[in-house]
Amino acid sequence: MIYDNQSTYIKSKIRNKVLDGKDRKETENFQFETFQLHAGHTPSIATRARAAPIYATTSFTFESAEHAANVFGAVFEQRMAALEGGTNAISTSSGQAAQFVAISTICSIGDNIISTSCLYGGTYIQFKVTLPRLGINVKFVQGDDPEEFSRLIDDKTRAIYLPVIVDNTFGGYLIKPIEHGANIVVHSAMKWIGGHGTTRQ
C-alpha cells in the first residue's frame, strides 16, 4: 500500500522515509529509473554495498519497540513509495491483506465504504462477508456511473474502492494513481513488481 501526503491519519502510523538518508529536495529531479535502483537504500559505511545486502540471519535488533521493521522490507517499502510518488508504504503478505489493512485502518464499527460490484472474487468475498462481520458495511454499485457512487455517500462513508487501470497491477510506471487524486494505492507484487513469477524461475 502506498500513501500520499493527504493521508495524514494513516501517515502518522507509518514509519518509513521515502529515501533513507536523503531529503526530498535532494531527490526532486530523480526519474523513475533512479528510484527503481536507489530508493530506500543508502550504502552502509561498513560494507559500501551498492545493492541492499542479503543477511543470513533470522533476527534483527531494534532501536525501539517497533518489531515490524526489517531491513529487507524497509528497502522495498521505501522504493515502492518513491516509485508511486507517495510518502510511505507498507508491505503485506498479499494484496488481499494490503486492502484489508487499508480499510480496517480507516474504518471503525458502523462506518462504510462504497465499492463497484465488478471485483476480483477474493475482494468481493472480503467486502461481502469479512468486513460486515467486523461491523464495516460495504455498499455496492452496479456499474461505473459516478452518480451512483455519489448517491450512496453519507456521513459514515470512509472510502470509495475502485480497481482502476486493472487495479494498477499492470500499470507500473505508466500511471500513478496518486497524481490523479487517489490517497491509497494497493498492488499485488506478483504482477509487474515481481514479473508474474518470472523473477523466481
pTM over 0.85: no
Question: Within a domain: residue 62?
Answer: no
Q: Helices in 65-143 by DSSP H: which ranges? A: 71-84, 95-106, 121-125, 131-133
Residue type for position 37:
L
Segments forming the whole domain that contains residue 142: 108-163
Q: What sign results for the dihedral spanned by CA atoms 102, 98, 58, 80? A: negative
Domain count, the chain: 2
Distance of CA 113 to the CA centre of its chain: 18
- For 179-200, how does the pLDDT look when each residue is reduced to its tens digit (9 = 90+)? 888 888 887 777 666 665 555 4
Say how far apart CA 102 and CA 195 lie, in whole Å: 24
User: Within this chain, do residues 24 and 73 fall inside the same structural domain, yes or no?
Assistant: yes
Asked if residue 72 has pLDDT above 50, the reply is yes
User: Within this chain, do residues 87 and 4 fall inside the same structural domain, yes or no?
Assistant: yes
Q: Tell the residue number behind the cell numbers 453519507, with chain if given.
A: 154
- For 102-121, how does the pLDDT look when each residue is reduced to its tens digit (9 = 90+)? 999 999 999 999 999 988 89
33-58 as b/e, with b when 16 or more CB fall inside 10 Å? eebeebbbbeeeeeeeeeebeeeeee
Question: Within a domain: residue 178?
Answer: yes
